[in-house]
Chain A
Amino acid sequence: MKRFLAVAAVAGLAVLTAGCGSDAASGKPAAITLVAYDSFPTEKTSLNDALDEFTKSTGIPVKIVIAGDAGTMVTKAKLTAGNPEGDVMWGVDNTLLSSAIDGKVFSKYQPNGANAIDTTLTALAPGHEVTPVDFGDVCINYDIEWFRSHNLQPPGSLDDLTKPEYKDLLVVENPSTSSPGLAFLLATIDNSGDKGWQDYWKALRANGVEVVDGWTTAYDDEFSGAAGSTGSKPLVVSYGSSPPAEVIFADPPRTDAPTAVVDSTCFRQVEFAGVLRGTDHEGEARKLVDFLISSRFQKELPLNLFVYPARTDTTLPAEFTKYSVVPTNPYTMDPAEIAANREQWQDEWTDIVLR
Chain B
Amino acid sequence: MDRHRAALSRGRPNQVPRWFVALVAAAPVLFVTVFYAWPVATLLWSTLDDAATGSPFRHIAGIVWFTVWQAALSTALTLAVGVLPAYVLARYSFRGRRLLTAATLVPFVLPTVVVGAAFIALLPDSWHGTPRAMIAAHVFFNIAVVVRLVGSMIALIPHDLVGAARTLGASPMKAARLIVLPLLRPALWSAAVVVFLFSFTSFGVAKLLGGPTNPTLEVEIARRATQLGDVAGAAALSVLQLVLLAVVIVWTSRRQRRSSVELQGAAAPRRPRGRSQRRLVVCVCAATVAIIALPMVALVTRSFRVAGDWSMSAWTKLGTTEVRPGAGLGVDPLASIATSLRFAIVAAAIATVVGFLAAAAINASPRAGRVLDAGLMLPLATSAVTIGLGMLITFDTWPVDWRARWWLVPLGHALVAVPFVVRALLGVLRAIPADLRAAAATLGASPIRTWWEVDARAMRRPLLAGVGFSAAISLGEFGATTILTRSGTETLPIAIGRLLGRAGALPQAQAFAMATILLLLTTVLVVASGVHERAGIDA
Spell out A's residues near B (CB within 8 Å).
1, 3-4, 7, 11-12, 14-15, 18-19, 21-22, 33, 35, 38-45, 48, 65-68, 71-72, 74-76, 78-80, 82-86, 99, 103, 174, 176-177, 211-213, 216-217, 220-222, 230-231, 249, 343-344, 346-347, 351, 354-355
Contacts and interface: CB of A to CB of B under 8 A. Distances in A.
A38 B489 contact: no
Q: Which of B59, B223, B460, B487 has the most CB of A within 10 A?
A: B487
Interface in B105-149: none
Nearest to A22: B406
Given A18-B346, A65-B487, A354-B213, 17 more contacts: A12-B349, A42-B327, A45-B326, A68-B487, A74-B229, A76-B226, A78-B229, A79-B226, A80-B404, A99-B229, A216-B323, A220-B504, A221-B502, A221-B504, A351-B59, A355-B59, A355-B62
A39 B228 contact: no
Given A11-B345, A39-B327, A343-B230, A221 B503 contact: yes
A67 B323 CA distance: 16
Contacts of B22: none
Contacts of A212: 503
A85 B406 contact: no
B306 to A, nearest CB: 11
Contacts of B55: 343-344, 347
Q: Which of B223, B307, B404, B464 has the most CB of A within 10 A?
A: B404
B280 to A, nearest CB: 45
A82 B212 contact: no
B487 A15 contact: no
Contacts of A35: 487
B529 to A, nearest CB: 13
Given A14-B346, A18-B345, A355-B59, A176 B327 contact: no
Q: Say which size band chain B's interface belongs to.
A: 35 or more
Contacts of A346: 228
Contacts of A45: 325-327
B66 to A, nearest CB: 10
A22 B325 CA distance: 28
Contact of B58 (A43, A217, A347): A347
Contacts of B487: 35, 65-68, 76, 85-86
Interface string B228-240: 1111000000000
B449 to A, nearest CB: 13
A113 B307 CA distance: 49
Which 6 pairs from chain A and chain B are nearest by CB? A66-B330, A41-B326, A11-B349, A75-B229, A83-B404, A221-B503
A75 B487 CA distance: 12
B167 interface: no
B503 A79 contact: no
Given A80-B403, A80-B486, A83-B396, A4 B325 contact: no
Contact of A177 (B59, B227, B323): B227
A79 B392 contact: yes
B436 interface: no
Contacts of A66: 328-331, 487
B346 A15 contact: yes
A40 B307 contact: no
B69 interface: no
B181 interface: no
A162 B352 CA distance: 60
B501 A217 contact: yes
Nearest to B498: A68
B342 A14 contact: yes
Contacts of B460: 1, 3-4
Interface string B203-224: 0000000001100000000010
B258 interface: no
A103 B37 CA distance: 27
A354 B404 contact: no
14 contacts: A15-B345, A18-B342, A19-B407, A22-B406, A42-B328, A68-B330, A72-B226, A75-B228, A76-B486, A80-B403, A213-B501, A220-B323, A221-B503, A221-B504
Interface string B484-497: 00111100000000
Interface string B464-478: 100100000000000
A346 B228 CA distance: 9
Nearest to A77: B229
A283 to B, nearest CB: 20
A66 B328 CA distance: 9
B212 A15 contact: no
A65 B504 contact: no
A14 B349 contact: yes
Given A83-B396, A99-B229, A7 B326 contact: no
Contacts of A21: 342
Interface string B343-382: 1011011001000000000000000000000000000000
A222 B503 CA distance: 8
Contact of B212 (A85, A211, A231): A211
A167 to B, nearest CB: 19
Nearest to A44: B326
B403 to A, nearest CB: 6
Contacts of A12: 349
B227 A176 contact: yes
B505 interface: yes
A160 B489 CA distance: 44
B430 interface: no
A217 B352 CA distance: 42
Nearest to B392: A79
B435 interface: no
B32 interface: no
B503 A85 contact: no
A178 to B, nearest CB: 10
Contacts of A103: 229
Contacts of A18: 342-343, 345-346, 406-407
A74 B227 CA distance: 9
A22 B502 contact: no
A38 B502 CA distance: 12
B174 interface: no
A38 B407 contact: no
A35 B59 CA distance: 35
B330 A65 contact: yes
A354 B342 contact: no
Nearest to B397: A82
Interface in B505-526: 505
A7 B356 CA distance: 14
A32 B328 CA distance: 20
Contacts of A3: 460
B324 interface: yes
Q: Which of B330, B404, B406, B489 has the most CB of A within 10 A?
A: B330
B401 interface: yes
A184 to B, nearest CB: 17
A26 B348 CA distance: 29
Contacts of A74: 229
B166 interface: no
B325 A85 contact: no
A1 B327 CA distance: 51
Nearest to A14: B345
A50 B225 CA distance: 36
A75 B227 contact: yes
A79 B58 CA distance: 23
A176 B326 contact: no
A150 B59 CA distance: 41
Given A19-B406, A343-B55, A343-B228, A7 B324 contact: no
